[in-house]
Amino acid sequence: MSESASGDLREAMNRVRVEVGKAVVGQDGAVTGLLIALLGRGHVLLEGVPGVAKTLLVRTFSRAVGLDTTRIQFTPDLMPGDVTGSLVYDARSGEFEFRSGPVFTNVLLADEINRTPPKTQAALLEAMEERQVSADGVSRPLPDPFLVAATQNPVEHEGTYTLPEAQLDRFLLKLVIDVPARDDEVAVLRRHADGFRPGSLETAGVRAVVSADEIRAAQQAAAAVDVSDDVLGYVVDLARATRQSPSVQLGASPRAATALLAAAKAWAWLGGYPAITPDHVQTMLVPAWRHRLQLRPDAEIEGISADTILTSVLQQTRVPI
C-alpha cells in the first residue's frame, strides 16, 4: 500500500473520533481504545459504574464506523444458544436447521456481560478467538470485521459474576470508564437540556465515516507496521517481569505479549509511525495487560492493583535505545 493511500485511510479512521464526539463527551481515550481494538482485530472490555455512557459509546462508535451492530443484554437467565444460535426443528422439512444468533454481526455489544453466569459467557470463547461458531459438527464463519465490545460493572457490584480467565484473555484491551471531569459533565447536561436523546443518534448528527472495506484495509496496514528485534525483546522482558513480581500469581502469557504487540502496532499506525517504538509499547501496556494478571490474595487484601504492578514493571524494565 502506498504512503498516500495509507495516509487517507488513517485520516478516515481518525475522523471516527470526531463523529463519536458528537454524542459522547469526555471519553476520547476510550474512543481511541475502540479504534485500536478494531484495527488490531481484537475485542474490548469497558468497565465502569452505571451511568457513564458505556453503552452509548459503543452504539455511537458502531454508527461512526458504519458496521452492522447487534446488542445483547446479558442477564442471569440468558442461555448460550441465545448468543450463538441453535438448531431448530423445521416441521415442513422434518429436519433440524441452524438459526443464527445475534453473534453473527460486525459489532456485538455485549451489554453488562458480567451479569450472566460463566456458562453463557463461555459461548463467546470460540467466536472471539476463532471468529466462528460451531454447531452440530459444522463451523460457521462470522462476518469480517468482527468486534466484541463488552461492558461490565465493577466486580464488587451486586449481581455480578467474575469473568473467567479464559474469557478475559480474549479481550485485546480493558478500558476503565471514569466519571467525566466537571466541565465535561456540564457539557453533557447542556446537550440534554438542548434536546439530545441518547436513544436517537440521528439527533446528534452521527454518521458513518468509513466503510467495511476501508476498515479491512486499515487492519492490514496496521498489521504491516515494522517492529525491531530490540522492541520485541522489550515486550518479552516486560512479560517476564510480571511473572517474577511477588504480588502476581499468574503473569502475562505469550498470548498477552502478542496482544500487546498488536495494540502497539495499531497505535503506531494511527499516529503515522512506520515502526513501533518503546513509547507505543509503554502506552498500551496497562490497557492490554491489566485484565490478564492474576494477583495473589494477600496483594488484593493490601489493595494492590494490576495497574500499580504494571506501572512498577515499566519503571524497572530496561528500555531499548
Q: What are phi and psi of 35, to 5 degrees?
A: -60, -45
Handedness of CA 282, 283, 288, 293 (dihedral sign): positive
| Grid cell at residue 82 | 441465545
Do 58 and 163 lie in one domain? The reply is yes
Do 287 and 244 lie in one domain? The reply is yes
Do 28 and 75 lie in one domain? The reply is yes
256-299 pLDDT, tens digit each: 999 999 999 999 999 999 999 999 999 999 999 999 999 998 88
Handedness of CA 203, 208, 59, 151 (dihedral sign): negative
Do 103 and 229 lie in one domain? The reply is no
The residue among 205, 224, 243 that closes a domain is: 224
CA distance 59 to 151: 12
CATH of the domain at 300: 1.10.8.80
Do 28 and 49 lie in one domain? The reply is yes
The one-character DSSP state at 202 is: G
pTM exceeds 0.75 for this model = yes
Do 167 and 145 lie in one domain? The reply is yes
Q: What is the DSSP string of 116-170?
A: S-HHHHGGGHHHHHHSEEEETTEEEEPPSS-EEEEEE--TTSTT--PPPHHHHTT
Q: Identify whether 320 is preceded by a cis peptide bond (ω within 30 of 0).
A: no
Do 240 and 116 lie in one domain? The reply is no
Most confident of 7-11, 51-55, 294-298, 310-314: 310-314
213-241 pLDDT, tens digit each: 999 999 999 999 999 999 999 999 999 99
Q: Mean pLDDT in the chain?
A: 90
Do 120 and 158 lie in one domain? The reply is yes
Cα separations in angstroms, 48 against 30, 150, 174? 11, 11, 11
| Grid cell at residue 163 | 469473568
* Long-range contacts of residues 72-77, Cβ cutoff 8 Å, at least 24 apart: 72/102, 72/108, 72/109, 72/110, 72/111, 73/111, 73/112, 74/110, 74/111, 74/112, 74/113, 74/114, 74/115, 74/116, 74/120, 74/121, 75/112, 75/115, 75/116, 76/115, 76/116, 76/117, 76/159
Strands (E), the chain: 44-47, 69-73, 85-90, 95-100, 107-111, 132-135, 138-141, 147-152, 173-176, 248-250, 294-295
Do 181 and 239 lie in one domain? The reply is no
pLDDT confidence band for 202 (50 / 70 / 90): confident
Do 186 and 316 lie in one domain? The reply is no
Q: What is the pLDDT of residue 50?
A: 84
CATH of the domain at 36: 3.40.50.300
Domain count, the chain: 2
The residue among 224, 249, 268 that closes a domain is: 224
Cα dihedral 47→16→107→71 (10° resolution): 60
Judge whether residue 155 has pLDDT over 70.
no
Structural domain harbouring 61: 3-224
Do 95 and 237 lie in one domain? The reply is no
pLDDT confidence band for 45 (50 / 70 / 90): very high
Do 267 and 181 lie in one domain? The reply is no
Tell me the percentage of the chain whose pLDDT exceeds 70.
Answer: 97
The residue among 224, 243, 258 that closes a domain is: 224
